[in-house]
A and B are shown apart, each in its own frame.
Chain A
Amino acid sequence: MDMRRPPRTVSDPKVRQVGFVTPSAAPPTRSLSDAPTTVAAASASSPPSGEISLLGSSLSPVMIPPPRHASSDGRPSAPVAVPNPASSLRRDSLRIRVGSYNASEVVLGTPPSASPSSRTDNAASEFSEETMSPWHGRSGTAKVASSFPGSSSEMIVMKTGVGGGGGAGSTPKSPLTTASVVKTLPGISEKEREVLMGTQNDGAGASKTLKEKTTKAERRALQEAQRAAKAAAKEAGAGVKPSTASGSAVVANTKQGKVVKPPPQKKDGPQIAPPSGSSEKKVVDRPPEKDRKKDVPAPRMQFDDKHRVEKAKRRAVVNQFEAKNRVELFRHLPQYIHGTQLPDLEGKFFQLDPMHPSVYKVGLQYLSGQISGSNARCIAMLLAFREAIRDYSTPPEKALVRDLTAKISSYVSFLIECRPLSISMGNTIKFLKNRIAKLPDTMSESEAKSSLQSDIDRFINEKIVIADKVIIRHAVTKIRDGDVLLTYGLSSVVEMILVYAHEVGKQFRVVIVDSRPKLEGQVLLHRLVAKGLNCTYTHINAISYIMHEVTRVFLGAASVLSNGTVYSRVGTACVAMVANAFRVPVLICCEAYKFHERVQLDSICSNELGDPDVISRVSGRQDLNHLDNWADNENLQLLNLSYDATPSDYVSMIITDYGMVCFY
């Protein structure tokens, strides 16, 4: 599932800004030196900003409207939304924008000829890009937040020519993939920014006025340059650095070369999120958007937005393919393309250095479906992170807190590319980042690492393993002798309940309802029969038939949302509905860490699409070949949903580790 909104709006901006400003130390010095510039820039940029805000409002449909922040279209509202050092931060960001913008002007030396229409187009696309990045960083607010600064700096690099790439090249890590390139580039940001600032400041007077008037052509040129840089970087491979730095950038380049070294290692989280050069450009050009964006909760990536998708594609580690015959209703969801990626990704195993091998492995397992089920995925992810943390060492001149958060964010975004996060995973990541953020400064690196590892262990133990045990204890009290228990699919906790009840000596029968295409129920059937439970197996269409004899329905859940909706494997809603129609109590077993404050009304708005191909093939039924080559016909689509939302009125009770909850 792709959802996972960034945790809290309030906390979000904070984190973001912190990430952006760069550690406490750097910004102050800079701001001091740059103060005048900033002011000047601000004044200079004020007209454009007004224009932008207008644009923004007119463009609003492009982005998924974050209702809360509707008012924050214009810049002015931004400060309000950001309670903390908003003013200084903003100024900081502003300055950066200005600086970078100027830099681009200087570098490119293109005359500003502004045509309103082109500008609006551009603004729209930029806007969408911007909104996209949050999606990527969905799970990690920090990442999102930090992405901007990173991106802006990266942008600068791009503008200055491929200098950034060249600079990065000197660093030990070689960017093979676009994503990695992107990542390395932003790393430059801090120092380079300052460097650039200096240069900008020189030319600021002249270029400042130009700022507002960037034309489409200019931007395009910029983009081209960035793309070229990326491509070059890719080709360059490990050791070879692209020496394609443009002449104009040479000066900056040389400086950067030195500066750059540290950043690549540091590998901020931000870099990951804002891979595409495009987003930075926008940021640079349009300060107000950036501001606005800060306080808007990052909306989920909406895949029907072409611009954003384009951008996302470009930065992705995992190659994205155009899905064929997409279902109109679900264009906003990431299309299933994973199957084709697997071999490709496997090939990259040794090239993706930024990724910790254990994380990489888990990602591939998600991709191939070897690990499924929200608990299993969650545990696998945590263990991988734990390993990554164990092997982690803070790069010089970096704060562990920030750098590790960024690193985790990059892992998360990789995992998202492999498969959209489950809600449980999102909560877990939130937890982990929270723990990292709360590490006391005084703590040494090794202490911090071990404390984090033990946190992870404790989380797995308390929130999942022990929680399950508690749930089992609770649930068993609801099983009486002679019961006929129905379950659907394969839920780890329900399986444990059934086995435990059997061990305790309860006499009952189990009805396992299954559905295509996963047929998880067969796995459960195997296990339960092997344990000696009396099982009846049927498919979901026969649910009305079998429900007559059922006395309890036990279901697992991927999440329980704040309106009581149970978000779970597709078909759960059908089972609960039929059970409700037959007056059979439905008990949902869900660990408390899977609860989420989101509200969801249907199964369409957020869902996960599975592989459509598995629908056309029925295992063991060779005669069913009617849908072979289905992709050839544009009128035919196959839809493989992964989740559905069960309305709360179908649910009699939710069993969690904190107890049993009745809705009515």
Chain B
Amino acid sequence: MPDLQALVTDFVLKLKRRKIEGSQATAKQTAELLRQVVSQQRMPYTNQASVLIDGVRAVGEQLIAANPIELAVGNIVRRVLHIIREENLSSTTAAMEGLGLTAGSDDDEGEHEDHPGLSAAAVAAAARSTLRAPSLQTLLEDIPESAVAPHPSSSGGDSEGKSKSADRSSRSKKLKHDVIEAINELIQDIDTCHELISEQAVEHIHQNEVILTLGRSRTVKEFLCAAKEKKRSFRVFVAEGAPRYQGHVLAKELVGKGIQTTVITDSAVFAMISRVNMVIVGAHAIMANGGVIAPVGINMVALAAQRHAVPFVVVAGSHKLCPLYPHNPEVLLNELKCPSDLLDFGEFSDCMDYGSLGGSPLLHVVNPAFDYVQPKLAARISNFVCSASSNQLPQPGGWSHGVKFPLLDHYGFGILDRFHGDDVESQGGHNPSYVYRLIADYYSADDLVNYLHPLLNHPMSSHDDCPSMIYGFLCSRCHHRLGGGEATARGQRGHEVRRVNSKIRIIGSAKEVDPS
């Protein structure tokens, strides 16, 4: 499939060159690409699921490697894999049930088939129970199933060869079809996450609220605007969010909607936070331990909010929920941007001269892109914006329309799930310690094991246009690469540790049997 391969390389290049900005766009394009992959995958007669999984995984690895910092890519890859597993599982179960019903007719033939059938059912049940948290929802949903499930298996085997093969061929098409359907839903999810999140705005913003945010996040913008449209009047402090100063853009947008907006410098965050009722920020990614990776500066805001016991809310779509357990994420999952954002090269070229005299440069410029907000702080603050409430789980037959709305109150999450099947909306908040549950809903443990996050070298090629190269500045990105600084050393060491760590973690939680 040259066509597909071309698409993949194209996308990989875009990722490498950081041409795609923003998690949402990345996630959506990834999902679309993977849909292509799935649809073009040639399906063998047997073992279709694993073929699909292998195909997606191969592409996924390339994508993840292209931009390891953009966690949304990996998230989407893993979710597609999870979709495939789920669909496969549900079709097997359906088949088994069907078989079980027909099995009653002749018992004698089916002796040898009995075991596979039984084991498949057992596996399915086990998988379901492990994949899905035993929340209120699952308990309610699963009762009939689990009551039914043992019955066919106990009643014995089945099997006519013809009906089975016919069944399989229909199933093979059905699997692919279902997977594509589910991916479509996923894409739709990603598209609509802002609307779904902002639906909740009025529930969290009261009249005359004073809100602080830093930088610009589209989710935050929509959230605030939604509240304004519902006639809430409130005041927003926008920290400008150096070095990108996206806060200016946000301020302009908010003012356009008639929201009282005050732009402050980032340094004034601590001064202002004591008069703020709530901090609402966007995120780059939400890690499995409940930690948040967010634009640089957020950690400072979070600490200040903690100091003054101000609720700290993170709004983010479900595609930002990352199943990885971060280790030292502020170094490993960070990206050092071009120093020209901070220093004017013309002005500081003389400093470079001093530097060159001594051999090693005297001047370093650090311009990281992300901050990591630790989840452990959450324990200290006990008031949550939303208490954890029923988080609906994927329905057996379909893929949930899950839109995450993590509300971190001091890193507590709130989650909005929207149901595809019955259009039920439920929403609630969750403690960061609950994130692992959500992750179990959205991801398979197998994918976690197989997809250790690779820490790749920075692509120098994509960085040629950085003015730092022209001026001979030690570009932070290259600085990483050149290995001069301790950041590199630290990074590599950290990386190894992290890898070990995550393995242990995953092995610990991945004791269930592989459903495929």
Contacts and interface: CB of A to CB of B under 8 A. Distances in A.
Contacts of A539: 242-243, 266, 342, 367
Contacts of B245: 618, 621, 624
A645 B330 contact: no
A435 B255 CA distance: 54
B252 A626 contact: yes
Given A602-B274, A621-B245, A578 B303 contact: yes
Interface stretch (B134-142, B175-183, B350-358): B350-358
B473 to A, nearest CB: 11
A637 B243 CA distance: 20
Interface string B313-353: 00000000000000000110010000000111001101100
A329 interface: yes
A639 B366 contact: no
Contacts of B307: 577, 647
A626 B238 CA distance: 14
Interface string A552-588: 0000000000000000001101100110010000000
Contacts of A541: 214, 241-243, 266, 296-297, 300, 371
A206 to B, nearest CB: 57
Which residue, B249, B275, B307, has most C-beta atoms of chain A within 10 A? B307
Contacts of B258: 635
Given A516-B265, A645-B271, A615 B486 contact: no
A525 B354 CA distance: 12
Contacts of A530: 350-351, 354
Interface stretch (A15-23, A295-303, A382-390, A542-550): A542-550
Contact of B261 (A578, A636, A641, A646): A636
A627 interface: yes
B480 to A, nearest CB: 13
Given A517-B265, A577-B304, A639-B263, A544 B270 contact: no
A616 B303 CA distance: 26
A627 B254 CA distance: 12
Interface string B355-366: 100100011111
Contacts of B330: 544-545, 548
Contacts of A639: 237, 262-264, 268, 272
B382 interface: no
Interface in A307-347: 327-329
A644 interface: yes
Contacts of B371: 541, 544-545
Interface in B174-215: 214
Nearest to B355: A529
A543 B241 CA distance: 13
B102 to A, nearest CB: 62
A525 B245 CA distance: 22
B367 A542 contact: yes
Contacts of B235: 328
A525 B363 contact: yes
Contacts of A636: 251-252, 255, 261-263
B365 A538 contact: yes
Interface string A647-664: 100000000000000000
A532 B355 CA distance: 8
Contact of B263 (A329, A607, A619, A627): A627
A534 B344 contact: no
Nearest to B361: A534
A375 to B, nearest CB: 21
Nearest to B304: A577
B266 A578 contact: no
A122 interface: no
B155 to A, nearest CB: 61
The B interface is mostly helix, strand or loop, or mixed, namely: mixed
Given A539-B242, A633-B255, A529 B300 contact: no
A525 B265 contact: no
Contacts of A529: 351, 354-355, 362-363
Which residue, B255, B268, B347, has most C-beta atoms of chain A within 10 A? B268
A515 interface: yes
Contact of B351 (A526, A603, A627, A646): A526
A44 to B, nearest CB: 50
Contact of B262 (A581, A637, A643): A637
A530 to B, nearest CB: 6
B367 A536 contact: no
A536 B251 CA distance: 31
Nearest to A541: B297
Interface residues on A, range: 35 or more
Nearest to A625: B248
Given A570-B268, A571-B268, A615-B240, A537 B343 contact: yes
Contact of A603 (B271, B347, B486): B271
Nearest to A636: B255
B309 interface: no
A604 B274 contact: yes
Contacts of B266: 515-516, 539-541, 571, 574
Given A540-B300, A573-B271, A604-B275, A641 B252 contact: no
Contacts of B243: 539, 541
B251 A522 contact: no
B367 A538 contact: yes
A74 B281 CA distance: 52
A536 B271 contact: no
Nearest to A610: B265
A217 interface: no
Interface in B469-484: none
A390 B161 CA distance: 115
A570 B267 contact: yes
A195 interface: no
Contacts of B355: 529
A305 to B, nearest CB: 20
Contacts of A329: 275
B12 interface: no
A496 interface: no
A104 B371 CA distance: 69
Nearest to B236: A635
Contacts of B297: 540-542
A577 B255 CA distance: 31
A67 interface: no
B229 to A, nearest CB: 15
A536 B364 contact: yes
A472 B100 CA distance: 86
A228 interface: no
B259 interface: yes
A626 B263 CA distance: 12
29 contacts: A515-B242, A515-B267, A517-B265, A529-B362, A530-B351, A536-B364, A538-B367, A541-B300, A542-B367, A544-B296, A544-B299, A544-B330, A544-B371, A545-B334, A570-B265, A571-B270, A574-B300, A603-B274, A616-B248, A633-B255, A636-B252, A639-B262, A639-B263, A639-B272, A640-B265, A641-B268, A641-B271, A644-B270, A647-B307
Interface of A: 327-329, 514-517, 522, 525-526, 529-530, 532-546, 548-549, 570-571, 573-574, 577-578, 581, 602-604, 607, 615-616, 618-621, 624, 626-627, 630, 633, 635-641, 643-647
A-B residue pairs, 4 tightest by C-beta: A571-B267, A541-B297, A603-B271, A544-B299
